Amino acid sequence: MSFASDDSSPTGSLPSSPSTSATSLTDDLNGYRAPLNGEAPEPSIDGTSVGGGEGGIRAESVDEITDDDKKLALSLKSQANTHFSSSRYREALDLYTASLNKNPFDPIVWSNRAAVRLKLEEYGLGVADSSRAIELDDRAVKAYYRRALANLAILKPKAAIVDLKKVISLDPKNAAAKLQLDATQKLVRRLAFEAAIAGKEEEPPSVTIQKQLDDGASPIPSDYDGPRLDDDARPTPAFVDDMVAHFKAGKLLPKRIVWQILLGAYNVLKEEETLVDVPIPEGQTVDVIGDVHGQFYDFMHLLSLTGTPSPTHTLVFDGDLVDRGSWSVEILLTVFCYKWLYPRSVFINRGNHETSDMNRVYGYEGESTKKYGPQTFKLSEEIFTALPLATLITASEPPRVDASPNPPNPTLHKGVKRFFVVHGGLFSKDDVTLDDVRAIPRMKIKQPGQEGLMCEMLWTDPQDAPGRGPSKRGVGLGFGPDITRAWTEKNEVTAVVRAHEVRQGGYSVEHGGLLITVFSAPNYVDQVGNLAAFARIDSSGEIKFTTFEAQPHPSHIRPMMYAGGLGAGM
């Protein structure tokens, strides 16, 4: 089944109090039901961003809907379908919502809006919209399929299996559902097996592979004509340039060199703190880069704009280097080479896609295994646990008087600006400090799980409503502008800089200037049509943004091609 929606279309506010726990927020979302009627104010977990009906009140019964309302609802649905087909997902979302405000009893519109939710990675809301469509039509095949994909995306494969079986029972010839069911069942069996052996003591992959290298394993083939790295040497800038040219020619490195690079970076990363302090020396700048997601050709264009790192030019990568795009390994090796070469000029935060569960679903495991074998993926898993969770960038000079006042009256620390750079966002509790972040034993915890500080740092998203609310993704939570203001003031942070979400213009400044989102993968997964951006912070704490467009790449290599059937169409 494609992601096309039905009808030739596209494939109540719930803020919680500031003291709400992460667990209760997850429970709230699991019990959330997209409203058929009643108030749907903006902003709301329902996603309503346009007024509907009279004063935003939805009809309580079909009998209340006039013929004119039905006609307008169908027109809005048609307009939404057109926007979806053109990858204008936010516009489509608004119009589907407007259609539901006129006629909330059309299961096709609920299902179509679920398709938009998946494109926007609002998987928790995708489950809710699909469920509402199924309540209205228990034979809504596409709604079951979309709910399965949404549950798979938030790592609930058993729930996905139930819906995929339902799809096949309703549509026995549905080849896509059969493929997805087979892949998902294999994933469940594999997860069960790995859980069963998890308690057994095993030698870390880094130790095993280092021994193999020391013993001369994986020698470089005699016919290899690419860049070489001496066993006892760090990469040079020339080596990195040659390696990138090698990748652009569609070639792979010998496994031995790949392992050398991964181990070299790991030996640096594991010595860093969970919260890394990055000062900006006078006259220098720091560039903050958001998600790049395996889009290698866009990534190299990005580096042509930022400039490559050097002892006087610092880059901070804010997570999600891998998954979705099909050159994740090439990006990882490039960034890790630079990290090994310039350990005090390159910093890498962990994203929610530098995690084992996400790598299994979104392609990095399949890609790294296909290109360099299963040991390479296992080594990557270990290295990802060593990635710091956040970076604290601190200016060395006071703010300039002629600087743009954003945020107005900025919070300073000892007279200078500083920025908390994290992949996802803030926390379920008000009292979290920078020292609490520093104290997270990231390498002991290893994986972020579904709750706790590490999970929240990798998964949470901002919301317009005050307080905290359920996550539209189904993992983490939403935090409002009051939460951001209180936390930044408490910790003497000028602003939070994060990634994690597509912004159509490449970046956004939110929460009164206290929260900045930067997304660095243009035309995300070859579909979204967004610009990308990076943020440059100078030594006085002034931020400037540079946006850029997607670059051509080999057309025969598509996003998610290494996902092995998992998440097809997501």
Amino acid 99 reads S
Residue with tokens 């467009």: 549
- 379, 520: one domain: yes
- 398, 474: one domain: yes
What is the pLDDT averaged over residues 481-509? 97
- 267, 323: one domain: yes
Query: Which pLDDT does position 202 carry in this prediction?
Result: 83
The answer to whether residue 558 sits within a structural domain is no
Residues whose CB falls within 8 Å of the CB of residue 394, separated by 6 or more in sequence, listed in order = 277, 278, 279, 280, 413, 416, 417, 418, 419
Grouping H, G, I as helix, E, B as strand and the rest as coil, residue 389 is coil
- 245, 169: one domain: no
The answer to whether residue 402 sits within a structural domain is yes
CATH of the domain at 54: 1.25.40.10
- 379, 275: one domain: yes
- Report the C-alpha gap between 2 and 4 in whole angstroms: 5
Query: Which pLDDT does position 59 carry in this prediction?
Result: 81
Beta bridge mates, 535: 288, 545
Question: Is 353 considered catalytic here?
Answer: yes
- 160, 274: one domain: no
The token duo for 174 is: 């549905």
In angstroms, how far is CA 362 from the centroid of its own chain? 11
The answer to whether residue 47 sits within a structural domain is yes
Instruction: Spot the catalytic one: 83, 353, 500, 511.
Output: 353
The answer to whether residue 279 sits within a structural domain is yes
Domain boundary among 168, 196, 224: 196
Highest mean pLDDT among 49-63, 293-307, 456-470: 293-307
Q: How confident is the model at residue 9 (pLDDT cuts 50, 70, 90)?
A: very low
- 151, 269: one domain: no
Residues whose CB falls within 8 Å of the CB of residue 464, separated by 6 or more in sequence, listed in order = 42, 43, 480, 481
- 371, 497: one domain: yes
Tell me the backbone φ, ψ of residue 276, rounded to 5 degrees. Answer: -95, 130
- Alpha-carbon distances, residue 425 vs 128, 291, 315, 459 (angstroms): 23, 14, 20, 7
Quick: pLDDT tens for 513-567.
999 999 999 999 999 999 999 999 999 999 999 999 999 999 999 999 998 655 5
CATH of the domain at 358: 3.60.21.10
Say if residues 96 and 77 touch (Cβ distance below 8 Å): yes
Quick: pLDDT tens for 354-401.
999 999 999 999 999 999 999 999 999 999 999 999 999 999 999 987
The answer to whether residue 2 sits within a structural domain is no
Q: Given a cut of 80, is residue 19 above it in pLDDT?
A: no
- 261, 185: one domain: no
pLDDT more than 70, % of the chain: 87
- Report the C-alpha gap between 184 and 557 in whole angstroms: 23
- Alpha-carbon distances, residue 190 vs 204, 370, 374, 563 (angstroms): 20, 18, 14, 15
Domain residue limits at 68: 22-196
The answer to whether residue 232 sits within a structural domain is no
pTM score of the predicted model: 0.86
- 143, 274: one domain: no
Beta bridge mates, 498: 517
Amino acid 368 reads S
Question: How far is the first Cα of the chain from the last one, in angstroms, to the nearest whole number?
Answer: 12
- Report the C-alpha gap between 136 and 108 in whole angstroms: 9
Domain boundary among 140, 167, 196: 196
The token duo for 428 is: 């379920």
The token duo for 552 is: 């051509």
Identify the residue with better confidence: 233 or 292.
292
- Alpha-carbon distances, residue 112 vs 44, 57, 93, 117, 118 (angstroms): 19, 21, 9, 9, 10
What is the pLDDT averaged over residues 300-305? 99
Say if residues 256 and 213 touch (Cβ distance below 8 Å): yes
- Alpha-carbon distances, residue 354 vs 266, 350, 359, 368, 385 (angstroms): 14, 6, 7, 13, 8
Domain boundary among 196, 211, 246: 196
- Report the C-alpha gap between 357 and 274 in whole angstroms: 21
- Report the C-alpha gap between 472 and 188 in whole angstroms: 25
Grouping H, G, I as helix, E, B as strand and the rest as coil, residue 550 is coil
**Of 513, 493, 506, nearest in space to 545 by CA:** 506
Grouping H, G, I as helix, E, B as strand and the rest as coil, residue 194 is helix
Q: Please count the structural domains in the chain.
A: 2
